[in-house]
Amino acid sequence: MLERLWNGWRSAYVQGGVEESLHTGEGSVFTRILASGLDDIETNIVHRGTTCFAILNAFPYSTGHVLVLPYREVAELEDLSADEVAELWSTVTDAVVAIKRAYTPEGINIGVNLGKPAGGSISEHLHAHVVPRWTGDSNFMTAIANTRTLPEALVDTASRLRAAWPPPRS
């Protein structure tokens, strides 16, 4: 029997709320988002720096799942410039601060998957995952039903994280 879990907030995606240019074209989905001309609200970009930015994962493991990546499409850590390395880690740190302020998680996972065998679904554009965690957040829905339940729409998550993002360091 087919089970359905109502996710009404995803209707914007189904009805074409996401521009077609994000699904076709040159480069990774992140490169296409940056080149799309869409604003940060529509693309769920929560922070922009000089060489790196932070965006919500469109298919999050949990509410508040942020991806931090360089603007430049680079697959390997060793191919990043010194400025990109410094800002990438600084932005990951700021994402942790924002997630803690906005969601008060019990823990946070940070990870980078390099290459498809390592789990990199968009391996051509290096990105760091910053994932808030709570005791018991892995449950039967993911393990048995291959379904995740998320209590908040991405647009609301992005708004909360933008409001909680720390100011630039001096």
**127 part of the active site:** yes
Closest CA to 147 of 3, 14, 9: 3
Closest CA to 114 of 73, 76, 57: 76
**Which residue in 65, 125, 127, 129 is the catalytic one?**
127
Pairing of strands 66-70, 128-133: antiparallel
Tokens 């087919």 belong to 2
Burial, 3: exposed, middle or buried (Cβ in 10 Å; 0-12, 13-18, 19+)?
exposed
Burial, 157: exposed, middle or buried (Cβ in 10 Å; 0-12, 13-18, 19+)?
buried
Residues catalogued as catalytic: 127
